[in-house]
Structure 1
Amino acid sequence: MMKKHRVWLGLTMMMILAMLGSSALRAEDNSTPQQVFDGMRQSFQADKAKGVHARYQWELSGPNGGEWWIDVNDGTFKMGRGKIDNPSVTFITSDNDWVAMSNGKLKGTWAFMTGRLKVRGSQSIARKLDEIFP
């Protein structure tokens, strides 16, 4: 019984430390969402976007938040600030969480499961984003 209790406490502490750790990492990252989107311009993979027609929308809260969009159209893309008509998928999160996800310091799956990231629209198109903009 004592061993099970210690294992449970150990797992609980690991989860707490992991959550605190990701918060600390986010706090240390001085990147802004605009810098992330600027970096995405450089990472675009036209070959992965062939045949893809997708409209991505971001709604980011926080002091560096705002709205951004990307329109992928058969191997090309356009990007801007503001809203896009009829998005295929909309990502709703905070500015800090978006930067942390983009820099690999916060897993998108974890953010989604814990409610820190909301995804409206096509899940398959949402997953395509990582292939098109690695």
Structure 2
Amino acid sequence: MSGVDFSTASPDQIAAVEPAEFVRIVRRMSDKQVDQVMASPNRGLIIEAIFRRMPGLFRPDRARGVTATTHWSITGRPEGGTDDWTVRLADGTCTCTPGHDGEPTVSLTMAPVDFTKVVTRRGNPTMMFMTGRIKATGDLALARRIAGFFEIPKP
């Protein structure tokens, strides 16, 4: 599927976008365009689609021996508040559920633009943390490593 406009796409169209195509589309978007999409009614669908795909992109060989509960908060909801997700890594698996569940090993808070940069590897999470664009509490060593546990498709 080429040329999907995430701000007006249907739930079925968003669900049909393969991970590599998603990365290609988002990497071509300016920060302003990402902000506009994340202010659209499709924001929740897009964030959900990202988290629902994470288990399929998880590389257990890169996370050997890691057991962690991570809380993700994506700020800037149009009506206020955050989109919250829990990502658990244990026994070579990754699971993602909406909301914050359990005691976190690390909590990550970021704006939508920074979130899309992290999940598409368009940005450097360590630099984003050092400049205050990503807030992390808990196991900061894990926070630095977490993006590497996933195989981000080449666009």
TM-score with structure 1 setting the length: 0.70
Match of 1:51, as an amino acid?
G
- The whole-number CA distance in structure 2 between the counterparts of 1:35 and 1:107 is 22
- Residues 1:56 and 1:109: Cα distance change in structure 2 (over 3 Å): same
1:110 paired with 2:110, answer: no
Contact 2:54 2:94 in 1 (8 A): no
Corresponding residue number in structure 2 for 1:10: none
Aligned residue pairs total 112
Aligned residue in 1 for 2:50 = 36
- Structure 1, unaligned runs of 5 or more: 1-23
- Among all aligned residue pairs of Structure 1 and Structure 2, give the percentage whose two residues are the same amino acid: 26
Unpaired stretches in structure 2, ≥5 consecutive residues: 1-28, 39-45
Alignment CA distance shift 1:43-1:60 (3 Å): same
CA offsets, 1:4-47, max 9 Å, x none? Answer: xxxxxxxxxxxxxxxxxxxx722334583223223322211122
Question: What SS does the corresponding residue of 1:126 show, helix, strand or coil?
Answer: helix
Following the alignment from structure 2 to structure 1, what is the Cα–Cα distance between the partners of residues 123 and 65?
A: 30
Q: Map of 1:78-117 to 2, 5 A cutoff?
A: 78-117=95-134
Q: Per residue, is there more strand in 1 or in 2? A: 1
Equivalent AA in structure 1 for residue 31 of structure 2: R
Deviation, structure 1 residue 77: 2.2
Residue 125 (str. 1) matches residue 142 (str. 2): yes
Which of 64, 76, 89 pairs up with 1:62?
76
- The 1:51–1:109 alpha-carbon spacing in structure 2 relative to 1, beyond 3 Å, is closer
CA-CA distance at 1:86 after TM superposition: 1.0
When Rg is computed on C-alpha atoms for both structures, the one with the higher figure is 1
2:22 alignment counterpart: none
Contact 1:48–1:75 (Cα < 8 Å) also in 2: no
